Structure 1
Amino acid sequence: MQRRKFLGTSAVASVGLLAASSLQAKEHQIAAATKLKHNINHSVCYWCYNTIEFEDFLKNLNELDIRAIDLVGPKDWPLLKKYNIHAAMCWGAEISLTEGWNDPRYHDTLIKNYTEMIPKVAEAGYTNLICFSGNRRGMEDTTGLANCAKGLKQIMPMAEKHGVVIQMELLNSKVDHKDYMCDHTAWGAALCEAIGSESFKLLYDIYHMQIMEGDIIRNIKEYHSYIGHYHTGGNPGRNEIDETQELYYPAIMKAILETGYKGHVAQEFIPTWANKIDALKQGVTICDV
């Protein structure tokens, strides 16, 4: 082989080997078994992975040592028990994200739904049950807050009796949930004050609050006493929480731990990777500070 030809062929081969080696190293890093510290109690929202059969997904969680799942109702609980997976955030009593506690027209239905669901949650051995403010539809925030407080106070005695915490999710009204009322942490904290019960807290969705107000770590530190649960998600796009987005999750997780928080943090990003379980594993590993 001529020297010029040999050098050209070798260079191409070397580049190919380096690329393959780099790719293999990344795949190995992602696929390698990870021993979680569990300083953070990890959970995950199944809807982001619902192309995977539910039981298969629970098997994946066992393999990843993720011990909890979010946004599951009574029909899912028997399988959770089978695989020893905790329901960190239950649902099934709400009407919808848009029809919530801020509108008195829905109070009778919501009170009925929650008074039926609270004992079921407690009997199953779970604690958290989600709720939503509903949309504004031209309503003033102060009016909506008063309406939420009036309705929710009627289920607080039952929640307190059963040790169940009703958690209202903070959502963004800028991109994903136009007109949603509980879209700022300060509003949610004021609602907590108005209700005045440890059985009512906020579900702080980091992705949503980054869009609405930013200043994530400062707000977590300021309002942590009102927060009972956390969701993750990369911004923009609500995809992986790695270097492809603008939030630095290790620092956020450390700030959460510094508040003394003992609850769960649930991954709620929509994976873009072909292997969604590898994406989940990466997200949990990033948060396992």
Structure 2
Amino acid sequence: MNNPRRNLLKGIALTGAALGSNVALSFSGRAYESKLLLLKGHINHSVARWTYGDLSIEDLCKAVNTIGFSAIDLVGPKDWPMLKRYGIDSSMCNGAEINLVDGWIHPQFHDELVERYTQHIDLVAKAGYTNLVCFSGNARGMAKEVGLKNAVMGLKRILPLAQQKGVVIQMELFNSKIDHPDYMADSSDWGVALCQELDSPNFKLLYDIYHMQVNEGDIIRTIREHHQYFGHYHTAGVPGRHEIDDTQELYYPAIAKAIRDTGFTGFLAQEFIPTAESQTGQIESLRNAIQICDV
């Protein structure tokens, strides 16, 4: 998943940091000054677009550049030109899904999903990106084994095109305990079984650390045993889905090291909801999170 453009951008960030460069950015008329982080290069960092919804996509691009990484998660086609303007990768593309609850476990939605994902796979490939998110949908009384069978049936219809275009379809794992009641793909075991049934390098799991801590825990062992099925990671603090610092129960430096030690070359994306009221405080939370996970 590495590409020359991203490596070049990292090199620029590293050079700026080594020279002690400061970058000023204005949020709502107030200047925010940040020294570029001297990143180690073992983790590809990103941030989820929706968690910084108070910022315009352009301001978020500027903020990312002031910190010194070069990717934003969960961005659709309308915002890709802005990312390209600032040399930022769309590390996880979205917009092909119907919604979060009407997903691939439901055959009645397969035709519409196939049409939407076929169009989006082409868009992702033409833009030079790799990852496209998908969702299982809610069970609505459906048994796990039936949902698995249905998802396999539907996803097999788009995977040949994904393979041809070099796009990786990634199903996100959610917790069904707090945030997404009744969501089918709420365990690593179900997701891994889906990967094994599909048996395609162009289908992976988006392993959301926050969600899986809420639903099942055992994060580091799961990463070590099933990392070959995980194509992307999301972070957030537990409980609360806020900053990943010492106010919550997960120890992200150890988690990031476990991911690094598997040889992972994808993205680790910050998806916490910042608690700071000011935009400058929110960006500082993001900067701190990148430092915590840069192992």
TM-score by length of 1: 0.89
What's the counterpart of residue 14 of structure 1?
Answer: none
- 1:52 deviates by 1.1
1:61 pairs with 2:64 = yes
1:89 pairs with 2:92 = yes
- The C-alpha deviation readout for 1:6-57, integer Å capped at 9, x for no partner, is xxxxxxxxxxxxxxxxxxxxxxxx9655211121100000111111121011
Q: Distance in 2 between matches of 1:262 and 1:186?
A: 23
* Bigger radius of gyration among the two: 1
AA partner of residue 212 (structure 1):
N
Q: Distance in 2 between matches of 1:34 and 1:218?
A: 30
Runs of 4+ with >3 A deviation: 30-33
Q: Which runs of 5+ in 2 are unaligned?
A: 1-32
What's the counterpart of residue 52 of structure 1?
Answer: 55
AA partner of residue 122 (structure 2):
P
- 1:66 deviates by 1.7
What's the counterpart of residue 225 of structure 1?
Answer: 228
Q: Tell me, what secondary structure is at the counterpart of 2:42?
A: coil
AA partner of residue 265 (structure 1):
L
AA partner of residue 281 (structure 1):
R
Q: Which runs of 5+ in 1 are unaligned?
A: 1-29
1:158 pairs with 2:164 = no
Q: Distance in 1 between matches of 2:40 and 2:263?
A: 16
Q: Distance in 2 between matches of 1:51 and 1:243?
A: 25
User: When you count strand as a share of all residues, which structure comes out higher?
Assistant: 2
Alpha carbons 2:36, 2:68 under 8 Å: kept: no
1:277 pairs with 2:283 = yes
RMSD: 1.0
What's the counterpart of residue 20 of structure 2?
Answer: none
1:287 pairs with 2:293 = yes
- The C-alpha deviation readout for 1:104-149, integer Å capped at 9, x for no partner, is 0100000000011101101100000000000000000000000000
Alpha carbons 2:34, 2:67 under 8 Å: kept: no
Q: Tell me, what secondary structure is at the counterpart of 1:44?
A: strand
Q: Distance in 2 between matches of 1:33 and 1:272?
A: 23
Task: State, as a whole percentage, how many aligned pairs show the same letter.
Answer: 59
What's the counterpart of residue 244 of structure 1?
Answer: 247
TM-score by length of 2: 0.87
What's the counterpart of residue 117 of structure 1?
Answer: 120
What's the counterpart of residue 12 of structure 2?
Answer: none
- The C-alpha deviation readout for 1:90-111, integer Å capped at 9, x for no partner, is 0011011100000001000000
